[in-house]
């Protein structure tokens, strides 16, 4: 009986280098992270404000103000957003009411402090 040693069959070769997967996985992960960050930005209030500013800028025209070299944004053909103006007027009226209320509170606090001072004076 002859025992001869059989050589094991060769291992199948991989058509690519496994070390090339690391940069590929990193690139895919980076793209996913960038996608999530961009998605969060585009759904944020900051992006909405920028978009609104861009939309408002489309309907405006920059005009040369004159001496001094200033430019001014003016609506084209005097077009004014009446709804926006009404909202701003409402906010101004609301703030004026708040200021009046704070002035009354300040007066009240000053009167209380004055009464406290009068009571605490020894000669009165």
What are the backbone dihedrals phi and psi of residue 5, each rounded to the nearest 5 degrees, phi first? -85, 125
Judgement on whether residues 50 and 90 belong to the same structural domain of the protein: no
Q: Is residue 9, in this structure, part of any structural domain at all? A: no
Mean pLDDT of 47-54: 88
- How far, in Å, are 18, 76, 83, 110 from residue 80 at the CA level? 64, 9, 9, 44
- How many structural domains comprise the chain? 2
**Average pLDDT of the residues of the chain:** 83
Judgement on whether residues 33 and 66 belong to the same structural domain of the protein: yes
- Per-residue pLDDT at 120: 84
Comparing CA positions, the residue from 73, 53, 54 lying closest to residue 63 is 73
Q: What is the 3-state secondary structure (H, E, C) of 15-60?
A: CCCHHHHHHHHHHHHHHHHHHHHHHHHHCCHHHHHHHHHHHHHHCE
- How far, in Å, are 6, 8, 10, 11, 30 from residue 3 at the CA level? 9, 15, 21, 24, 57
- Per-residue pLDDT at 80: 62
pLDDT band at 11 (very low <50, low <70, confident <90, very high): confident
Q: For the segment 67-122, what is each residue's pLDDT rounded down to a tens digit?
A: 666 666 655 545 567 888 889 999 999 999 999 999 999 999 999 999 988 888 77
Judgement on whether residues 30 and 66 belong to the same structural domain of the protein: yes
Length of the chain (residues): 124
pLDDT band at 29 (very low <50, low <70, confident <90, very high): very high
> Which of 64, 79, 94 is at the close of a domain?
79
In which domain, by residue range, is 28 found? 22-79
């Amino acid at each position: 009986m002859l025992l001869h040693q059989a050589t094991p069959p060769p291992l199948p070769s991989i058509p690519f280098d496994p070390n090339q997967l690391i940069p590929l996985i990193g690139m895919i992960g980076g793209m996913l992270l960038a996608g999530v960050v961009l998605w969060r930005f585009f759904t944020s209030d900051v992006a909405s404000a920028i978009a609104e500013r861009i939309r408002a800028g489309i309907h405006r025209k920059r005009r040369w103000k004159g001496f001094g070299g200033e430019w001014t944004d003016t609506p084209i053909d005097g077009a004014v957003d009446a709804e926006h103006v009404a909202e701003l007027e409402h906010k101004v009226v609301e703030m004026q009411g708040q200021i009046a209320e704070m002035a009354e509170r300040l007066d009240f606090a000053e009167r209380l402090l004055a009464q406290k001072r009068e009571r605490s004076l020894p000669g009165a």
